[in-house]
Structure 1
């Protein structure tokens, strides 16, 4: 029986990708101007970024328990294998909610082939894991093969990113008010990465021009077999810089353009990272297919 891949909207993939690879999507919620919106469904990232540029502060919330219960129950009744590839448990309560609902559904359907996996990834880092799993499922891989691949890909996914304005990280509690003030004053651009699912400051770069070059240096240090993997770049409504980074990667590592996936950072993560974010995702140990 075909395996259904389920993920949430924080993976920052497109509706076309979901459709093409038969990926089921559960959207997180964005709160803006007193209204609730489904990320990627009833609100698009561009709207959120434009609102942030106007000084508004959108909020986000996780997927409801009822949503997961309905999805899991429908698959359990049909005994259809489901693999849910979740947003990092360190950045959202969505994974924990899904695990609770998995346990609840399995009380009634103990043999339900439902698998909930914490990627400890975010944005297109999570998205690359989802794409890989969906392609395996399409090729007829077993549930164990898909689950093991998701865990392996997640464990070896590197996230390196920078933000254009420290104010947004301050609002989200990632840095202090003083750090944001001093950083903005000195025109410091922070580089961050994801360590065991958490956002962790890596270093500070003086001047935005140096940031992309430093991202490439870190890619060279951490990446492995870059010509034989899919590389992700996501951006906070700054396609020009994302394409600039893509060209730099192609030139430096002899990577072909079709190996690089460029997507906009979605509403949920963008609400915390802000316009101008640039993020780079690659594997530090790609596994041969």
Structure 2
């Protein structure tokens, strides 16, 4: 048997990668009109970003069930659970409490990121597990990947950001300019302002420049996400492919309803792992 890796639906890992690396996924939740919709399981309306919906973390029961099943399937080798940043969601805190009550062979790793920023950490752990690594080795691979990750996002509107309360230091600038198109980054698990720009086109170009500066000429794993903006994501992915020839083509996936509700329609994000595994 081998160590089993668990993550949550915010990681946005494509189905083929989940299957290839045997990664388990715990759903996060969208609360809409009295209904509790599980991301990745239940149908979420396409116009969710224009509706008064809220989000919720994975429940302790869901986490416990996932960890218990994974622990059993590992044959006792253990579980490494990689979750969205504790600064952005209550999922990681709930996971840590659940693991502490459940079994010492369940290790929780705070990805300090979101979307494929979390997904790349889970992939690093899964690769280590597939290579035969024990619990310490797999958890160590995940922790190392946390330090390698970077994430940037351009949003088209500020309404969702105002409501979300997820932006560090936002009170100083968030309400100052209706035309503001901020470039945000994830810094130590928190979503913070990287740059203020007046147009989406210029903000997107600035984000691409920042990604290219960080990556340089080395290979890196890339992912491009979007919120109801597939054409914008494809353009960013194409620009990165042209400017970063040492990198494999970017993984391209929607940001998903839970994260999308906090940044609003039109948003495009780039996540990267500066030293991906094989």
- Out of 56, 74, 87, the residue aligned to residue 90 of structure 1 is 87
Report the CA distance between 1:34 and its aligned residue: 1.8
Report the CA distance between 1:164 and its aligned residue: 1.0
- Equivalent residue number for residue 210 of structure 1: 202
Contact 2:48 2:257 (8 Å CA) reproduced: no
Question: What are the within-5 Å matches in structure 2 for residues 44-55 of structure 1?
Answer: 44=44, 47-48=45-46, 50-53=47-50
The total of aligned residue pairs comes to: 273
Cα 1:188/1:104, change in 2 over 3 Å? same
Alignment partners' CA distance in 2, 1:276 and 1:136 = 36
Question: What are the within-5 Å matches in structure 2 for residues 42-81 of structure 1?
Answer: 42-44=42-44, 47-48=45-46, 50-53=47-50, 56-76=51-71, 78-81=75-78
Q: Which 4+ runs in 1 deviate beyond 6 A? A: none
Alignment partners' CA distance in 2, 1:58 and 1:203 = 28
Of residues 206-215 and 65-74 in structure 1, the stretch that sits farther from structure 2 once superposed is 65-74
Cα 1:40/1:181, change in 2 over 3 Å? same
SS in 2 for 1:183: coil
Alignment partners' CA distance in 1, 2:226 and 2:246 = 20
- Out of 113, 116, 121, the residue aligned to residue 121 of structure 1 is 113
Contact 1:225 1:286 (8 Å CA) reproduced: no
TM-score, reference length from structure 2: 0.90
Of residues 271-280 and 134-143 in structure 1, the stretch that sits farther from structure 2 once superposed is 134-143
Cα 1:15/1:202, change in 2 over 3 Å? same
Report the CA distance between 1:121 and its aligned residue: 0.9
- Equivalent residue number for residue 183 of structure 1: 177
**Is it true that 1:220 corresponds to 2:220 in the alignment?**
no
Alignment partners' CA distance in 1, 2:243 and 2:60 = 46
Contact 2:32 2:54 (8 Å CA) reproduced: yes
- Equivalent residue number for residue 132 of structure 1: 124
Report the CA distance between 1:181 and its aligned residue: 5.1
Gap regions ≥5 residues in structure 2 = none
Contact 2:83 2:91 (8 Å CA) reproduced: yes
Contact 1:91 1:198 (8 Å CA) reproduced: yes
SS in 2 for 1:42: coil
- Equivalent residue number for residue 156 of structure 1: 148
**Is it true that 1:172 corresponds to 2:131 in the alignment?**
no
- Equivalent residue number for residue 109 of structure 1: none
Query: What is the CA RMSD across the aligned residues, in angstroms?
Result: 2.1
Gap regions ≥5 residues in structure 1 = 107-111
SS in 1 for 2:192: strand
Report the CA distance between 1:75 and its aligned residue: 4.5
SS in 1 for 2:85: coil
C-alpha distance after superposition, 1:7-65 (max 9, x if no partner): 00111123343223211110011111221011111034xx25x1323xx1211111111
**Is it true that 1:286 corresponds to 2:275 in the alignment?**
yes
More helix by share: 1
Alignment partners' CA distance in 1, 2:39 and 2:121 = 20
SS in 1 for 2:40: coil
Alignment partners' CA distance in 1, 2:198 and 2:3 = 47
SS in 1 for 2:36: strand
Alignment partners' CA distance in 2, 1:73 and 1:146 = 18
- Out of 98, 101, 104, the residue aligned to residue 98 of structure 2 is 101
Contact 1:3 1:82 (8 Å CA) reproduced: yes
SS in 2 for 1:259: coil
